[in-house]
């Protein structure tokens, strides 16, 4: 399996779009994206962090909540489902407990399409402003997490070796 199949693009100035192909049928990928015991096995944060809390009320108007825990503390995030068409489309809002980019509110659209037993996941995140989008882009979750805590520079140095 190649490790460079993930494509990240900026289709508009408020969005980040990711596309990734998985060697599994769509129903299975949908399960892995929406069932807490499965999410806990892959939707992890920076190295060493676990997804300690994962609650999902998978219906329109239902809430979801994730809390990641690491040595330096924890980070929570959650939102409300706006649209669910299993197993092909989920639209939800997304906000962090401790906002770290302007607005701290985004809309996430996940689309799954299957072809020949393989599934393409498209993840589109729309931010309130271009500033918010750019900040997220420049500090992926690793630094977003650490920003809430002390010793950010130290942490980044150990993670990236810079």
Partner 1 sequence: MTPSTRLDVTFAALADPTRRAILARLASGEASVLELAEPFEMSQPAISKHLKVLERAGLISRGRDGQRRPCRIEAEPLAEATSWLEEYRKFWEGRFQRLDVLLDELKSEAKTLSLALRRLGP
Q: Which residues bind partner 1 (CB under 8 A)?
A: 1, 3-4, 6-10, 12-13, 16, 18, 20, 22-24, 28-29, 31-32, 38, 41-44, 130, 134, 137-138, 140-142
> Nearer Cβ to partner 1, position 42 or 59?
42
Q: Smallest distance, Å, CB 133 to partner 1?
A: 8
If the CB atoms of residues 23 and 60 are measured against partner 1, the closer one turns out to be 23
Q: Report the C-alpha gap between 129 and 71 in whole angstroms.
A: 32
3-state secondary structure the chain: CCCCCCEEECCCCCEEEEEEEECCCHHHHHHHHHCHHHHCCCCCCCCCCEEEEEEECCCCCCEEEEEEEECCEEEEEEEEEEEEECCCEEEEEEEECCCCCCCCCEEEEEEEEEECCEEEEEEEEEECCHHHHHHHHHCCHHHHHHHCCCCHHHHHHHHHCC
Min CB(126)–partner 1 separation in Å: 13
> Closer CB to partner 1, residue 16 or residue 91?
16
Least distance to partner 1 from the beta carbon of 123, Å?
8
Q: Is 158 exposed, middle or buried (0-12, 13-18, 19+ CB in 10 A)?
A: exposed
Closest contact distance (angstroms) between CB of 109 and partner 1 is: 16
Nearer to partner 1, 44 or 80 (CB): 44
CB of 58 to partner 1, least distance (A): 18
Residue with Cβ nearer partner 1 (51 or 84): 51
């Amino acid at each position: 399996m190649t490790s460079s199949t993930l494509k990240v693009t900026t289709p508009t100035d408020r969005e980040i779009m990711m596309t990734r192909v998985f060697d599994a049928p769509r129903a299975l990928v949908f399960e892995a994206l929406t069932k807490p015991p499965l999410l806990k096995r892959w939707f992890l944060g920076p190295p060493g962090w676990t997804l300690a809390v994962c609650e999902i009320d998978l219906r329109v108007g239902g809430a979801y909540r994730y809390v990641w825990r690491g040595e330096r503390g924890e980070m929570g995030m959650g939102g409300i489902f706006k649209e669910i068409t299993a197993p092909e489309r989920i639209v939800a809002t997304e906000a962090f407990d401790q906002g770290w980019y302007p607005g701290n509110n985004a809309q996430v659209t996940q689309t799954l399409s299957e072809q020949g037993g393989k599934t393409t996941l498209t993840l589109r995140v729309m931010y309130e402003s271009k500033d918010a989008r750019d900040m997220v882009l420049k500090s992926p979750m690793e630094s977003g997490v650490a920003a809430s805590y002390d010793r950010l520079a130290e942490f980044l140095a150990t993670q990236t070796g810079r």
